[in-house]
Amino acid sequence: DLKGSTRLCGYSVGVTVLFEVPVFNYNKYLLKEWGHDVLFVVAVIAYVIQAFGYTLLTALTVHWVLSLE
């Protein structure tokens, strides 16, 4: 157990949404300029980095979850 608070979980969701909204807003442009394949690779790389970062978290570093979002 990382002893994360419910407030930290809420902040985590907020940070995630903060970065998703611009991507959703510019999705047509991004698909046109970069294409489906590039965006898919970028998403997979981001997910791998995030999942690996989660494995490094401890009770003392749980606040770093915000930067992984």
> What's the rounded Cα separation, in Å, for the pair 22 and 45?
19
Let me know if 33 is exposed, middle or buried by CB neighbors in 10 A (0-12, 13-18, 19+): exposed
Residue with the two structure tokens 């606040």 = 63
Total-model pTM: 0.80
Q: What is the pLDDT of residue 4?
A: 85
- pLDDT profile of the chain (69 residues), mean per 10: 87 93 95 96 96 92 89
Q: What is the pLDDT of residue 33?
A: 96
In the structure encoding, which two tokens stand for residue 20, read together? 């998703």
